[in-house]
Structure 1
Amino acid sequence: MAIDELFAQAGVDGRRLRRAVALLADGRWWALADLVRETATSRRTIEALLRELPLEHRGERVRIPADQAKHYNTGTESDISDPVSHLMDIYRDTVAQIEELIAKAPRARHTLDHVAATADTVVRRALLLGERFWLPGSRVLCVGDHDLTSLAVRMIHPEAEVAVADIDERILQYVDAQELGIRTFWADLRLGLPPSVRGWADLAVTDPPYTPEGVGLFVARAAEGLRDRDQGRVLLAYGASERTPMLALKVQHALYDLNLLTEAMFPDFNRYHGAEAIGSAADLYVLRPTTKTWPAVASRVDRLATAIYTQGPQSVESARSREDLPGLAGIEEFAPGLLAGDWPRDLLPGVPRVRLSTWLAKPYAADPERVAVAVPAGLEAVLPRVLLAARARRVRVLLAAPPAGLADLAELVSPVYDLVAEGSVLDAVRRETPEREADRIARRVLDNAHGKAANSWREALVSARDLTKRQARALVPGWADATVLELPAHRLAALPHAAADSLTAASRPAGDGSGGTG
């Protein structure tokens, strides 16, 4: 039989094929995607198996006919990938809640290598954290959270603090909207981890792009987020097809280069809606830093490439043929006093330069009148932060293509800049100090973009009203306890209105029973 040849070719890895056959013989109808996910086997391998089996069809679903099923009873029901299966019945309602939240969440973005994990997987991640680690009083950082793991952790372990760092503004707003007390921070990990969560966490969880570059970067950033360098852990979801062991080896080399101990690995722990090329599954690694991890992390992030994804303008493949940014011809006439980003070496050789990561990490020491910034394809999400990080009178940004969502960008930076776009060149001109008192508070906060928004806000209220620092701080919303540059876009957009509310609250007579801004 051809099926026996497939089993023989699979060798000791044939258990996954036998499990697929057993499922097809159990009387249920199976869609290809469901069979891939249930067995954690690549689509190509399952397709090859189906070609060799006697099948009956119902639309796109298949099964082995009942009169032949007895010949395919392989009895392979054990699952070593699920150490928390004994808890799942207890948390059945939580799985249903998470499933509903995932269904309503923002859709995946293929350019960010998004693939949604199942609700069952997300809950099991949270349960495993509680089974393996002591969570009361601990801090859990989700380095990227398209899967909404943060929600499950907070729902199951409310005694733990949870934070999310993500590039997707929609995810950050969605997590905030659930009002579970999760802190959210915008981050492009290629340019840095948000300052507020560096050295903050006891545990970090990440499900990164599945390239060696993506895994290496996300895990390095997760390690940067740990405050407990002796007992902290990084939990990594990573999967590869059983057909591509060399790719998995390259990823494991990336982990080895970070001098991380693989303390445990649960095979096929994570299951996904999609990613059929890797069996809609991924292993869960528990990684423990060593004393040699920290210099390795510093070295890794210092030389990292921005191309980490499998698709889109920042994919590993596209990086090799990326063209120069348009608009270079007018830069000499613009006469910048500083160049931020990656510029041709022979352009304006006497002008100081700074990397984008440095530009966002700390205020530039000098105060040039004009700054030019190069933002390559794939890093457009950083645009509002690039502008707010500047203190110059004029900023010119060169993009790979005309800016999308210009109205949304203008809304975020309008307290500081007037914007004019011509093709792929964006000019920002700093506005005069506003006359309205509430607008001046918002402007003061945004002008100190590298500092904590709450501190600037508090000082602005103290200056505007006869308040103590404690009184003023009580009027500042809790989400402002972050730098301006790491605030999600929906928080930046809310800043002018929230500043006005805080000023109104500050003007109320003491003891009138009114609260602060929350």
Structure 2
Amino acid sequence: MREDGAAAHDGGAGREDKDSPGREGDERSGVERLLYAAGADSRRLRHALALLCDGQWWTLADLVRATATSRRTVETLLRELPLERRPDADAFRVPLTHTPAYQDLLAVAPPPEDPVGHLVPHYADVLDRLTRLVADAPRARHTLDHVSATPETALRRALLLGARFWLPGARLLCVGDHDLTSLAVKLVHPGTDVTVVDVDERILAYIDDQDLGVRTRWADLRLGLPASAHGHDLAFTDPPYTPEGIGLFAARAVEGLKDDGRVLLAYGASERTPMLAYKVQQALAELNLAYEAIYPDFNRYFGAEAIGSAADLYLLRPTTKTRPAVASRLSRLTTAIYTQGPQSVESAPGERAPAAVAADFQPDLLVGDWPKGLPQPRVKLSTWLAKPYAAAAERVAIAVPPGLEAALPRLLLATRAPRVRVTGAGLPPLPAVLATVYEVEPGSGGLDAVRLPQPDGDAPSAVLRRVLDNGHAKLANTWREGLVALARAQGSALTKNEARALIREAAPWSDDVTPLDAPLHRLESLPAAIAATVAALTTTTAL
């Protein structure tokens, strides 16, 4: 920001002859030419001019965000103005002696009224807490197109949801939640049932750490939506701002809804790039969604200055033609949806090509995208994670393309094959909890995972292994069956309800989640939680 701000300041404050004869008229004429060229759309520039003339100091980032105008457009205005710098900060303004020259050029009315702005002052405590939560949240990842929304935006999203819909008892799905909209909703409307699906383990762990009752699920939306994330009344998403990203996130949001649900979607584009906005809206139109409302510049961000640090908020309603369109969209899914990184829409296809099958490992089954002509049966990554593979395979080869490395633990949990070879660059280390299942041998092109024999004699390890061996099953159900079987082997009787009670006390988060969609921090907590239920088993069966 410093380089940008300095460049803007030099364009105005560097003029040492501000008070020379005729200089003020020259500056005024430059601003007039700019406003005339902008025509009806000059209100953005006039708003920025009004702020610069109000006596306050502005940084470039703050001025962009306050006016919801692209950085380039704001900079064109700054170059035509006499600016003075604040000595102790990277900020500027029009000198007070010059502001009378521009009074007739200022916007005479503010931008369209914020639909919930009048409610914000009543939630000062919530805003203070959200400010701390946003400040302490995991940092943005550029490869996931993260740009943080302001705390005020998170609060206003929650307020708009409550003003538009009846939230007590309603189910809300946040399709990605780097902005912590889920926490804002729970703080303002604690009676709302909120679920977050996200690929970023850090975000899921951070949300759970706040202990506000938000349900978290891991999901890479390119690979699927967990079954436990279906059946919601409302869905909120702030997706990657590419047509591919918007189409995918909107499709998954609809997939997670009841038939009469709504999707709230944030999307912003520069006033300079209407064609990009058109392409994104085409992606939405292909899903046959009805537009109930568009709130302009509703969302504000720390960053994203190319689009004015702002985005509109779309309120969309599925129609009877939406679900078939969603199914069609997901059937031609592409994994390249971001603006940056290995899964950007501009990355070369060769960068995502899988490796060939190695001569020293001849698999019975191929998972992922492999070269054509190989004789083995194959299955898509998304299908592999969605349901158990019907046939037993001794050797499985999995190709993980760049950008999907976070799926590695789940891809391994989705099989019971004795040997698995995973190919891919930059694969992350496996979480410690998987050491119960696999012995891993790193290789130059990926890793080999050898399935360990069943644990012998250690009851907690046996129950844990039973849970992890059933990656597609509900975790609590498999856990319950393991406890009942253990009690039976010990000559005791344990009812299913008694087993459920033990599990809910040790892991209240475990209902409806599978090992494949449980966040990693939840999986890592399983050994201790299962050990606690096994220890409590003796007390329960003795009563």
TM over 0.5: yes
**Per-residue deviation at 1:48?**
0.9
Q: Which amino acid aligns with 1:360?
A: L
Maintained 8 Å contact 2:352/2:402: no
CA-atom RMSD, angstroms? Answer: 1.3
Return the alpha-carbon distance in structure 1 between the equivalents of residues 101 and 538 of structure 2.
82
> Which residue, 366, 371, 374 being the options, matches 2:396?
371
Tell me which residue corresponds to 2:364: 337
Return the alpha-carbon distance in structure 2 between the equivalents of residues 126 and 464 of structure 1.
46
Q: Does 1:114 align with 2:121?
A: no
Tell me which residue corresponds to 2:197: 165
Tell me which residue corresponds to 1:310: 339
SS in 2 for 1:163: strand
**Per-residue deviation at 1:510?**
6.5
Distance 1:329 1:386, change over 3 A: closer
Return the alpha-carbon distance in structure 1 between the equivalents of residues 45 and 108 of structure 2.
10
Q: Does 1:506 align with 2:537?
A: yes
> Which residue, 447, 453, 460 being the options, matches 2:475?
453
**Per-residue deviation at 1:494?**
1.0
Q: Which moved more, 1:90-99 or 1:144-153?
A: 90-99
* Percent identity of paired positions between Structure 1 and Structure 2: 61
Return the alpha-carbon distance in structure 2 between the equivalents of residues 71 and 473 of structure 1.
75
**Per-residue deviation at 1:475?**
1.2
**Per-residue deviation at 1:77?**
4.5
Tell me which residue corresponds to 2:422: 397
**Per-residue deviation at 1:424?**
2.5
Q: Does 1:283 align with 2:334?
A: no
Q: Which amino acid aligns with 1:66?
A: L
**Per-residue deviation at 1:356?**
0.2
**Per-residue deviation at 1:153?**
0.3
Q: Which amino acid aligns with 2:421?
A: R
CA distances 1:140-197 after superposition (whole Å, capped 9, x unpaired): 0000000000000011011110000000000000000000111000000000011111
Q: Does 1:14 align with 2:42?
A: yes
Tell me which residue corresponds to 2:494: 467
Distance 1:264 1:511, change over 3 A: farther
Q: Does 1:23 align with 2:51?
A: yes
**Per-residue deviation at 1:324?**
3.1
Return the alpha-carbon distance in structure 1 between the equivalents of residues 97 and 289 of structure 2.
52
SS in 1 for 2:315: strand
SS in 1 for 2:345: coil
**Per-residue deviation at 1:81?**
5.3
Tell me which residue corresponds to 2:241: 210
Q: Does 1:86 align with 2:113?
A: no
Maintained 8 Å contact 1:110/1:311: yes
Return the alpha-carbon distance in structure 1 between the equivalents of residues 433 and 108 of structure 2.
56
Distance 1:2 1:475, change over 3 A: same
TM-score by length of 2: 0.90
Maintained 8 Å contact 1:31/1:61: yes
Maintained 8 Å contact 2:388/2:414: yes
Maintained 8 Å contact 2:43/2:107: no
Tell me which residue corresponds to 1:425: 446
Q: Which amino acid aligns with 1:201?
A: H
- Structure 1: state its 5+ residue gaps: 513-518
**Per-residue deviation at 1:507?**
1.6
Tell me which residue corresponds to 2:188: 156
Tell me which residue corresponds to 2:10: none
**Per-residue deviation at 1:413?**
1.4
SS in 2 for 1:414: helix
**Per-residue deviation at 1:76?**
4.2
**Per-residue deviation at 1:321?**
3.9
> Which residue, 295, 298, 301 being the options, matches 1:272?
301
**Per-residue deviation at 1:69?**
1.3
Q: Answer with 1 or 2: which has the greater Rg.
A: 2
Maintained 8 Å contact 2:436/2:465: yes
Tell me which residue corresponds to 2:432: 411
Tell me which residue corresponds to 2:7: none
Return the alpha-carbon distance in structure 1 between the equivalents of residues 292 and 348 of structure 2.
34
Tell me which residue corresponds to 1:516: none
Q: Which amino acid aligns with 2:317?
A: R
**Per-residue deviation at 1:319?**
4.2
SS in 1 for 2:366: strand
> Which residue, 221, 246, 251 being the options, matches 1:189?
221
Distance 1:149 1:402, change over 3 A: closer
Tell me which residue corresponds to 1:515: none
Return the alpha-carbon distance in structure 2 between the equivalents of residues 291 and 461 of structure 1.
45
**Per-residue deviation at 1:334?**
1.1
Return the alpha-carbon distance in structure 1 between the equivalents of residues 508 and 437 of structure 2.
23
Return the alpha-carbon distance in structure 2 between the equivalents of residues 67 and 492 of structure 1.
64
- Structure 2: state its 5+ residue gaps: 1-28, 488-492
**Per-residue deviation at 1:419?**
0.6
Maintained 8 Å contact 1:237/1:283: yes
Maintained 8 Å contact 1:84/1:127: yes
Return the alpha-carbon distance in structure 1 between the equivalents of residues 409 and 339 of structure 2.
25
Maintained 8 Å contact 1:410/1:419: no
TM-score by length of 1: 0.95
Q: Structure 2 matches for 1:241-256, cutoff 5 A?
A: 241-256=270-285
Distance 1:410 1:286, change over 3 A: closer
Return the alpha-carbon distance in structure 2 between the equivalents of residues 324 and 132 of structure 1.
46
SS in 2 for 1:480: coil
Return the alpha-carbon distance in structure 2 between the equivalents of residues 362 and 413 of structure 1.
20
Q: Which amino acid aligns with 1:322?
A: E
Q: Structure 2 matches for 1:25-174, cutoff 5 A?
A: 25-58=53-86, 59-73=89-103, 74-80=106-112, 82-174=114-206
**Per-residue deviation at 1:480?**
1.5
SS in 2 for 1:381: helix
**Per-residue deviation at 1:323?**
5.3
Return the alpha-carbon distance in structure 2 between the equivalents of residues 323 and 498 of structure 1.
39
Tell me which residue corresponds to 2:384: 359
Distance 1:324 1:27, change over 3 A: same
Return the alpha-carbon distance in structure 1 between the equivalents of residues 451 and 190 of structure 2.
44
Q: Which amino acid aligns with 2:514?
A: T
Distance 1:402 1:86, change over 3 A: closer
Q: Which moved more, 1:76-85 or 1:310-319?
A: 76-85
Q: How many residues are matched?
A: 501
SS in 2 for 1:44: helix
Maintained 8 Å contact 1:444/1:460: yes
Q: Which amino acid aligns with 2:161?
A: L
Q: Which amino acid aligns with 2:262?
A: R
Maintained 8 Å contact 2:408/2:427: no
Distance 1:320 1:509, change over 3 A: closer
CA distances 1:8-37 after superposition (whole Å, capped 9, x unpaired): 121111111000000000000000000000
Q: Which amino acid aligns with 1:424?
A: G
Q: Structure 2 matches for 1:474-489, cutoff 5 A?
A: 474-476=501-503, 477-481=507-511, 482-489=513-520
Maintained 8 Å contact 1:81/1:266: no
Distance 1:462 1:41, change over 3 A: same
